[in-house]
Amino acid sequence: MGHYMQTPLLQVVELAASVEETQILKNISLTVLPGQVHAIMGPNGSGKSTFAQVLMGHPLYTVDAGALYFEGEDITALPAHERARKGIFLAFQYPYEIEGLPLKDLLRTAYNAWYAGTDKQIGIKAFNQLLEEKLQLLELDRSFVERGVNVGFSGGEKKQAEILQLAVLQPRLVILDEVDSGLDVDALRRVCAALKVVQGQSPEMAVVLITHYNRILEYIIPDQVHIMQEGLITQSGGAQLARDIEKIGYASE
């Protein structure tokens, strides 16, 4: 059975959005199937991060036209926490530091909030077992989750913590906004390897990867690459498109 038989996980239809009266996204259409990786590239200020926030339902952004569908359901007006409940996850570009709150406690709270009202909610013992499995899966030390959230974490460790959160929550759609920012090559390789492991466990999980550089695409091969410029998708294609862009640059730059 080919991909073409599948119901799209995410459909963005002629989406226009603004922040504080300024229109940023002008007419974006995009279809993401289960299990696909879509990379969105573009110069700074092209609307990429706005797109991530609008997908998640950030209240600062207003949808002016068009619609968002998740598994065929119109979610354009849904608040962020309800989108999260349906399985949409946005990794933060700059995660907070929380002194005195161990990462494992944050993860357990997030897990039970994520699965609120379902039979997937679990107690401390069961959660610790789940967490142990995921730490082993990602080859992370137990001491990693005993530390205060992001306190003294390197850039790479902050991203590892996000990937661990993905592994624990197992969302259906992951939006990674500039996951490669501030990482050296080794840290980037580790984070991408971890992401691949999580995807291997959840083959239906789709990823929308927002990036300014294409170096991350050496480690994660996208099914589709979209070039965003001035709030529009100006080109779409396969992984080769990212390589071409690296050679020739964005047309308007």
pTM over 0.85: yes
- The total of other beta-carbon atoms located within 10 Å of residue 187's CB is 18
The torsion angle over the Cα atoms of residues 201, 205, 208 and 213, rounded to 10 degrees, is 20
What is the pLDDT at residue 126? 93
Which single residue is written with the structure tokens 């199937």? 33
- Range of the structural domain that residue 164 is part of: 3-248
The torsion angle over the Cα atoms of residues 147, 220, 208 and 230, rounded to 10 degrees, is 110
Is position 161 within any domain?
yes
CB 65 within 8 A of CB 25: no
What is the pLDDT at residue 251? 63
Integer Rg of the chain from CA: 18
CATH code of the domain covering residue 221: 3.40.50.300
How many angstroms separate the CA atoms of 190 and 206, rounded? 20
Task: Estimate the crossing angle of helix 155-169 against helix 103-114, to 10 degrees.
Answer: 30
What is the pLDDT at residue 53? 93
What is the pLDDT at residue 253? 44
- The total of other beta-carbon atoms located within 10 Å of residue 110's CB is 15
CB 27 within 8 A of CB 14: yes
Which residues are bridge partners to 16 per DSSP? 65
How many angstroms separate the CA atoms of 163 and 196, rounded? 10
What is the pLDDT at residue 24? 96
pLDDT in tens, the chain (253 residues): 445 567 899 999 999 999 998 999 999 999 999 999 999 999 888 999 999 999 999 999 999 999 999 999 999 999 998 898 899 998 765 567 888 889 999 899 888 888 888 888 888 999 999 999 999 988 899 999 999 888 888 888 888 888 898 899 999 999 998 877 778 888 888 888 889 999 998 999 999 999 877 788 888 889 999 999 999 999 999 988 888 887 777 765 4
What is the pLDDT at residue 1? 45
Is position 214 within any domain?
yes
Indicate the SS3 state at residue 165: helix
Q: How many domains does the chain have?
A: 1
What is the pLDDT at residue 92? 62
Nearest to 179 by CA among 151, 208, 136, 201: 208
Is position 253 within any domain?
no
